[in-house]
Chain A
Amino acid sequence: DVKVTQSSRYLVKRTGEKVFLECVQDMDHENMFWYRQDPGLGLRLIYFSYDVKMKEKGDIPEGYSVSREKKERFSLILESASTNQTSMYLCASSFLLGLTSGGDTTDTQYFGPGTRLTVL
């Protein structure tokens, strides 16, 4: 079974604090993703990474940064947390999905349990 784990299920931080959210996957997936999930807005992609040290901005990267030093680990960083970053954060991983790898559509995304972050 694919396992995607996130470092915390619940986190409470104060405005202005630096926050690290960690995600680890054990299936040697190339791709890793960070989303935030808010009621009525679905999942919105913050950043994704298709290889070590590679990153691409998603739809809402402002206020966030990421780090991928090892293939299995993808960190989301809130440099200075703000109250509008209170949300559920979901990490996902996958093999290459095929449209950028010649049609070898071998897999889909697997999600972690999520981290519910509250910024006071």
Chain B
Amino acid sequence: AQSVSQHNHHVILSEAASLELGCNYSYGGTVNLFWYVQYPGQHLQLLLKYFSGDPLVKGIKGFEAEFIKSKFSFNLRKPSVQWSDTAEYFCAVNMWDDKIIFGKGTRLHILP
């Protein structure tokens, strides 16, 4: 069955540290890829998405992600995190139909 794996369930960083959150999916066909963020007490909102074209996509708030097809990966990165990036991050993949499958999420905690 198709699945989405997020490597870390809980990440703790200090402000200004660099961030990379891993995401892998299991499906050999065409995919659309997403990262969503949920700040404490708020809605899920889209951070960035990849549909086609340049595999390095830039999103809001300085986040970017790189689609590496050969590795079935879509890792999220940010060069210098801020306290306000404390949130839960979800990788999601749209495969052969209009369903979107989510990973289990990564809780990111930034120490001030």
Contacts and interface: CB of A to CB of B under 8 A. Distances in A.
Interface stretch (B41-49, B67-75, B79-87): B41-49
Contacts of A99: 30, 32, 94-98
Nearest to A95: B98
A42 B99 contact: no
B103 A42 contact: yes
Contacts of B102: 35, 42-45
Contact of A97 (B6, B44, B98, B103): B98
Contact of A108 (B46, B96, B101): B46
Contact of B49 (A44, A96, A108): A108
Interface residues of A, number: 29
A111 interface: yes
B32 to A, nearest CB: 6
Contacts of A112: 43
Interface-centre pick from A94, A98, A105, A109 (highest chain B CB count, 10 A): A109
Contacts, number: 67
B90 interface: yes
Contacts of A56: 97, 99
A58 interface: yes
B109 interface: no
23 contacts: A31-B98, A35-B102, A41-B104, A42-B102, A42-B105, A43-B90, A43-B102, A43-B105, A45-B99, A45-B100, A45-B102, A56-B97, A58-B99, A59-B101, A94-B98, A99-B96, A100-B98, A105-B51, A105-B52, A108-B46, A108-B49, A109-B100, A111-B43
Interface of A: 31, 33, 35, 40-45, 48, 50, 56, 58-59, 90, 92, 94, 96-100, 105, 108-109, 111-114
